Chain A
Amino acid sequence: MTGSDASLEFSINRVAAMVRRYWYLLRSSWPRILDLIYWPAVQMLMWGFLQLYVSQNSSFFAQAGGVFIGAVLLWDILFRGQLGFSISFLEEMYARNLGNLMMSPLRPVEFVAALMIMSLVRLLIGMIPVSLLAIAFFGFNLWSFGFALAAFFANLILTSWAIGIFVAGLLLRNGLGAESMAWTIMFLFLPLTCVYYPVEVLPHWLQYFAWALPPTYVFEGMRALLIDHVFRADLMLQAFAFNGLLFALAAFAFLKLLSSARVQGSLLQGGE
């Protein structure tokens, strides 16, 4: 195989180089690390105390222990997973380093793989301490979900990456003018994926949209586990199927937006 042919292959080495770049950045700044833990901890404490209050006044919530706190922890996997992906990408734009990367042999698929890994790393740094705090404060053990947690996590992180890939495409095409999308796009999912309430609460016509979003199946699955004590494998399989579709759409949109960025000359600018 010639050197040229080898350069066309997916390279774990280039992915590792990018992960190393983000790791150096993360460890160089303690506020960056604190930020990963601070807000998830505040959210968890607020919803945990609310749950405590409600359960003292409602027999339903007293029996359905942990639905709020479980929901906020799973929501954070979805939200923080996407944010971790998008922030690592934004760091390249803030650093004006995107041109260096786009001109290097790094392929888009390798760049995306590195962003996914960093999204996981950032998520674990934030969520592990917060899940331990939930045990300490409220006796809520997310880890006791066992296999169900793995299925919930896999589905939520896949959705967060798909959205992250789409946002990265928007940023490539529109520069930092699209930055606010990186911070806010996931909030569209908050009411529609029924994080804190069952899907039946939504108007009938809106339920069709809700069921088209993979996280809806996860939050319904979590409530089934906490309230009815059953693991709904059917919901998880449907979530995986919708995630496959969402991922394919996001990858297609990313490649189209990257191609458009090359036509518009936005890769060299990347500014506002």
Chain B
Amino acid sequence: MDAQNTSAITVDNLVKHYKGATAVDGISFRLNPGSITGLLGGNGAGKTTTIAMIMGLVTPTSGSVSVLGAQMPKARYRVLHRMNFESPYVDMPMRLTVRQNLSVFAQLYAVPAIGERIANLADELELTEFLDRPTGKLSAGQKTRVSLAKALLNRPEVLLLDEPTASLDPDTADWVRSRLERYRIEHKATVLLASHNMTEVERLCDRVIIMKKGRIEDDDTPERLLSRYGRETLEEVFLDVARGRREQGSVLGEAVP
């Protein structure tokens, strides 16, 4: 069995050009089933475009993406019911109540025993008291929990998260991370997480891919990255990469202050 068949997500020499600008420039990686990987990078690094191509929302200029063995976007309908996502670029309809929204998406994903599933998720994500409120009347933290509930409705094997804790207060963000961690462990899901939050990535991820200007600048476990760059935190590593400073001991590297 080859590596592509055993990987949950395979990205191979992926390129995306938008009207002369290069958003993603020949990246390749494979994510093992049950792994959680952080996709780091500054604004415009190509993280969202990469995730959009993995979801099948954007067609690559060249290269290929395969999710659970299906080529994206061509064969996306073979696997979309086994995936889900959360992103700050989308919202849940505001006038519908939380229960209405979740039940509509549950039906779209052919979730069995919809009422029971919504009740369980609401309980787990502390949404029970908000179920019959219009989604637009909720606070940012509550809306994020609703989006997370939608993302977990179909018990996805592959979960794509684009800045899942952006604009949340530290307490709510920490709470969301705990739930994601628990879900990943309980369901052995493969999670790809794009984030600017280094604490989040350090806490959750067993692998970190750092992107810059559409390319992969580094790809390793958090521990090895810290060791190679001689840094205490991933934030310092990220700044080293963002500012073009090489890892400690690199012959070509610049002096690290």
Interface residues of A (CB under 8 A from B): 3-4, 7-8, 11, 13-14, 16-18, 20-21, 24-25, 28-29, 91, 95-107, 259, 262-265, 267-269
Contact = CB atoms under 8 A, between A and B. Distances in A.
Nearest to B153: A104
A102 B57 contact: yes
Given A262-B59, A269-B89, A13 B110 contact: yes
A28 B91 CA distance: 18
Given A25-B93, A28-B96, A16 B107 contact: yes
Q: How large is the interface on B (under 10, 10 to 19, 20 to 34, 35 or more residues)?
A: 35 or more
Interface string B118-147: 000000000000000010000000000000
Given A265-B18, A265-B52, A267-B57, A100 B80 contact: no
Contacts of A99: 57, 87, 89-90
A105 B84 CA distance: 10
Contacts of B108: 14, 17-18, 101, 104-106
Given A7-B80, A97-B91, A265-B16, 17 more contacts: A3-B81, A4-B78, A7-B77, A21-B96, A24-B100, A25-B93, A91-B93, A95-B93, A100-B150, A103-B55, A103-B57, A103-B80, A103-B83, A105-B77, A262-B59, A265-B57, A268-B58
A99 B57 CA distance: 8
A263 B79 CA distance: 20
A21 B89 contact: no
Contacts of B95: 24-25, 28-29
A29 to B, nearest CB: 7
A21 B100 CA distance: 8
Contacts of B90: 96-100, 268
B73 interface: yes
Contact of B52 (A18, A24, A259, A268): A268
A263 B61 CA distance: 8
Contacts of B52: 265, 267-268
Nearest to B83: A103
8 nearest A-B residue pairs (beta carbon): A17-B107, A99-B90, A96-B91, A95-B93, A262-B59, A21-B104, A105-B81, A105-B80
